[in-house]
Amino acid sequence: MWKSFFIAAGIFCCVVGLELLVIDSAVILPLDGHGGPRVVTAPDWAPWALISAGAVTLLNFGSLPLKPANPISKLH
């Protein structure tokens, strides 16, 4: 289950990083209609940091063992 979580987190980081490379800013509108829209701009380092963190996570996923070793089975 942990393996699935980390591969999903790595893919999520890579996708968000790639999206931040494409867009300059995002406008967030409130759901209830009160207040004005908010403009969110990511810093210049954010896309590259997310892509690299996601890539490292995915590369680490490939090096994990398929099943953990069971130390009790080795005793018999």
Segment 5-12 shows an average pLDDT of: 93
Per-domain boundaries in the chain: 2-26+39-61
What are residue 38's DSSP bridge partners?
A: 28
Element (DSSP H or E) covering residue 39: strand 38-40
pLDDT digits (tens, 9 = 90+) for 30-56: 998 888 999 999 999 999 999 999 999
What are residue 1's DSSP bridge partners?
A: none
**pLDDT score for 4:** 86
